[in-house]
A and B are shown apart, each in its own frame.
Chain A
């Protein structure tokens, strides 16, 4: 359900342009899919935070790989919870992503 956002990053080179495109599409999806709006909003916000923190900074390929791995982990957690379908699982996954954003910045 959310993995198309990871694919946007891969397709666009995992750099700033990629995260910007990912954030735009994520926010759009939050508006289009009310049942998953919170999840899309968090993923979009995390992509946007990556842009805000790293634009015009000397980001290395190692940093890029680490940020991508974290984003992918967030997407997988949300995908798994939404597939499982329980409200408890989705809440847990949302908290996992929000906590990751606040502690790691992605």
Chain B
């Protein structure tokens, strides 16, 4: 069960960023941009799936996640925890374990027929389900997973991720339009701050990353990517 004290939000963000940098989950490359699912070019890439291989890190991150949920949402506000296929599944399992709650996972595509064809695990009408994924960019996959859970009868109003890009102002608005509140542990700004503080990457790379974070659509356009977020 959850055992940590409630850490300060800034400490959570800084520690999470430090852990991501420590296991080389963060990649900056402005010469050969990465492409987002939406077609946007970006000098940043993060692989949160690496975190599952580090027991002390994942344990700490899951404690952070539970503390954020209990503090920001409440102690008795969820009946089950659902992971989004694939990266969200292990994190959902650990959070479910810590909160003493049932777990499901949501497939990207339906398997078989019926309103719960995308869900594995038992789900009941009116069950208050927390959706878990590893990260959020534009929020598109959260909405799809959430819709699948709702079709199966669940009530889904909250989602948590380890990492939130927080570079597109539309993301929170879009999620809010779908009655979803996003909770996260760290953002690119936190990673950039810690990378500077600890001397990760050269100054030129970090400056270019900051240019991207300040105006991602413009940076994308200058580097061969889309200039708008396409769904």
Chain A residues proximal to chain B, CB less than 8 Å = 12-18, 55-56, 58-64
- B 41-71 to A, binary, CB cutoff 8 A, 1 in contact else 0: 1000101010000000000000000000000
Bitwise, B206-231 to A at CB < 8 A (1) or not (0) is 00000000000000000111100011
Collect the chain A residues with CB atoms within 8 Å of residue B39's CB: 12-15, 17-18, 64
Contact of B37 among A15, A60, A62 (CB under 8 A): A15
B40 within 8 A of A: yes
**Across-interface contacts of A63 in B (CB, < 8 A):** 35
How far apart sit A13 and B33, CA to CA, in the bound complex (Å)?
14
Q: Are A56 and B87 in contact, with the CB atoms below 8 A? A: yes
Interface size on B, residues (CB 8 A): 22
What separation, in Å, do the CA atoms of A8 and B34 have in the docked complex? 21
State whether A64 touches B35 (Cβ < 8 A).
Answer: yes
- Could you jot down 24 A-B contacts, CB within 8 Å? A12-B230, A13-B38, A13-B39, A13-B225, A14-B35, A15-B36, A15-B40, A16-B38, A17-B39, A17-B140, A17-B231, A18-B39, A58-B27, A58-B34, A58-B45, A59-B34, A60-B34, A61-B32, A61-B33, A61-B34, A61-B35, A61-B41, A61-B225, A64-B35
Contact B33 A15 (CB under 8 A): no
